[in-house]
Structure 1
């Protein structure tokens, strides 16, 4: 059944409102998670509305349509003011009156405003952490104070807070205790599934927003000794501008003399990224902070070897998945050796590694993850006209 048909058949179903600062057509981990969850909820007996901002942070001069239907999901876009880190958008309250449940994604203005304004809307609230706001060490002292005061107080309004990684779960249990439920992010294991090169080749890719915490500078630094040892090494950087612009990245490439070894791709479709992956064996990330590490799972689904900087999220993932290789990107020589070592490992048994990586990624399929979210929704709605909880959370009410 198509998403549009599902949406039409759910006309009397409970409405789950997803509130998120950025959504399609923007591309990124947060946007992908909300889009995937929204589509999955349609097939699990919910109507879905996404309330988001009316401008992309990467194109602030262009206002997007106020309303749109995307894959059967109602999308409502509202104006905002202030910083992209904490965009102020009070019109969110206008779009909650018919909601059965409100699901806030990320810890920002929406998280605080809907908590402090609960008396105005009186809707059951849940939130997913998506890494909180600790993506960089910048203003770390202020962030810690904010987390232990404002974030802690806001948490009192939420029935459940979903930690989308082991790291987030540990962090938010400090302010919300047993109301924190861990549900690791789902991954679209079909998007790049089985797309990687069949044979080990000296080509790697990184995918994502061009943010400071991604440390694309360090990734390019590692390419310098690799290219000096073997000029066939090549890095593809695919993503959209963030803290760094396309010109910034072009300057980084030129400064390192890597014009023949690094290609930057702006705003590619998933199909185009899949095409790049077809000639690739390794995925690399020098990121200093990740909320979960979704792109590493997507890389494994393609049969690629993830070579990752040992931040907390990546270290947690690597502890569960031996297919992941960790190396310290703060030292270019060490990182280059780690990348070359991952390639040498893959060359010993490309088919065997590919099977293991794809099997590991399958555990994060959205079918499984959406079932857990639906259980949280039904547990939250238990005792209302929309039904009673069932499944895992019903069996363990304190989960």
Structure 2
């Protein structure tokens, strides 16, 4: 089967969508499929390169206009070379618009990635779009793969072609290299975007409140600055003057990140919203417990795994008390519970379901399916 993943972002950009697409492509290639990525974004030059890690082509296609209201005419020629499009468009705007205009007759499925609830920006525009265009655009896909139960519940209000397909990870890639008993639950790490909606400033406040209760937490924060949160965070750390408790670092490569994770016992995030929460599952695969906001899907990971706790960051003192009690009571079980829970999200076990979705879409469009393994 020839599968083209259409996305508004891809490496060298780094984030959850990029990781999900790369893992999907890796697993599909191993099962004999021909895969590629079409990266549609403003400022790109038309061209082609290659994902060196996973060995498949990346088509760079300029998006003319804006990421919300833009067109990518370069998609037309490339899309015709594939059997099916797997579209990754949480906004259901420019990317989906280009797919409908330039590849309308092709079978296609959509991954939700949290839709557009990650921030409150353009809230009035989003509300209008959701009322007028959202249902029709959802129905233009054969299947909408909801990345979380909250995405499924939301999209099901507008269309009936929704199915739950939670993302996966390469579990083996995050397996800890040391005995689980050596995990230090007082060493925390956050990795990801350092942005307003991720709220790393609240993590700093939580560490301070835990320290006031006698728990000497050390928090490493690493990631790519996305807005002015980096300067806010630096100012807050300077005011606290607690250098033994905090380490703010630039983005790490995979080797450095895994080395830092190996010394940590907890992944902590105060993120306001996650479409799926990929980093939480990655952390749990490494044997880390999780501390998160009391909001789905993060809270579901914490509560159902036995390896984490979800707290209300609006009351940091109460949150600190809950966190300290949790770490004291579950110190001997967190790592094992985390790995056991993460194992359910292994891509190698999920990819058959993805193939089934593709086959169904191809059949609905009377397109021969070439799912035989090479």
With over 3 angstroms needed to count, the CA separation of the structure-2 counterparts of 1:82 and 1:334, relative to structure 1, is farther
Instruction: Provide runs of 4+ in structure 1 moved above 6 Å.
Output: none
Q: Is contact 1:246-1:266 (8 Å) kept? A: no
With over 3 angstroms needed to count, the CA separation of the structure-2 counterparts of 1:126 and 1:95, relative to structure 1, is same
**What's the TM-score once normalised by structure 2's chain length?**
0.89
How far 1:156 moved relative to its partner? 2.5
1:366 corresponds in structure 2 to: 347
- Find out whether 1:161 has 2:148 as its counterpart: no
Determine which of 121, 133, 136 is the counterpart of 2:116: 133
Q: Is contact 2:63-2:70 (8 Å) kept? A: yes
Q: Is contact 2:174-2:283 (8 Å) kept? A: yes
Q: Is contact 1:231-1:261 (8 Å) kept? A: no
1:95 corresponds in structure 2 to: 78
Q: Is contact 1:281-1:305 (8 Å) kept? A: yes
Q: Is contact 2:186-2:215 (8 Å) kept? A: no
Give 1:244-323 correspondences, 5 Å limit: 244=228, 246-323=230-307
With over 3 angstroms needed to count, the CA separation of the structure-2 counterparts of 1:267 and 1:326, relative to structure 1, is same
Number of residue pairs the alignment of both structures matches: 365
Q: Is contact 2:71-2:97 (8 Å) kept? A: no
Tell me, what secondary structure is at the counterpart of 1:312?
coil
With over 3 angstroms needed to count, the CA separation of the structure-2 counterparts of 1:388 and 1:229, relative to structure 1, is closer
Give 1:327-342 correspondences, 5 Å limit: 327-342=311-326
Find the aligned partners of 2:329 and 2:233 in 1 and give their Cα distance.
30
Q: Is contact 2:303-2:310 (8 Å) kept? A: no
2:32 corresponds in structure 1 to: 45
What are structure 1's unaligned runs of at least 5 residues?
1-13, 390-399
How far 1:250 moved relative to its partner? 2.1
How far 1:217 moved relative to its partner? 1.5
**What's the TM-score once normalised by structure 1's chain length?**
0.83
CA RMSD of aligned residues (A): 2.5
What are structure 2's unaligned runs of at least 5 residues?
none
Q: Is contact 1:104-1:127 (8 Å) kept? A: yes
Give 1:10-159 correspondences, 5 Å limit: 14-53=1-40, 66-70=47-51, 71-83=54-66, 88-108=71-91, 109-114=93-98, 116-117=100-101, 121-159=104-142
How far 1:345 moved relative to its partner? 2.5
How far 1:85 moved relative to its partner? 6.1
Determine which of 360, 363, 371 is the counterpart of 1:379: 360
With over 3 angstroms needed to count, the CA separation of the structure-2 counterparts of 1:52 and 1:322, relative to structure 1, is same
Listed one character per residue, the Cα deviations across residues 227-266 of structure 1 (whole Å, up to 9, x for unaligned) are: 3444842111121122346444323322333443221222
Listed one character per residue, the Cα deviations across residues 335-390 of structure 1 (whole Å, up to 9, x for unaligned) are: 3223322321343x2xx43222211110000111222111111111124222589x
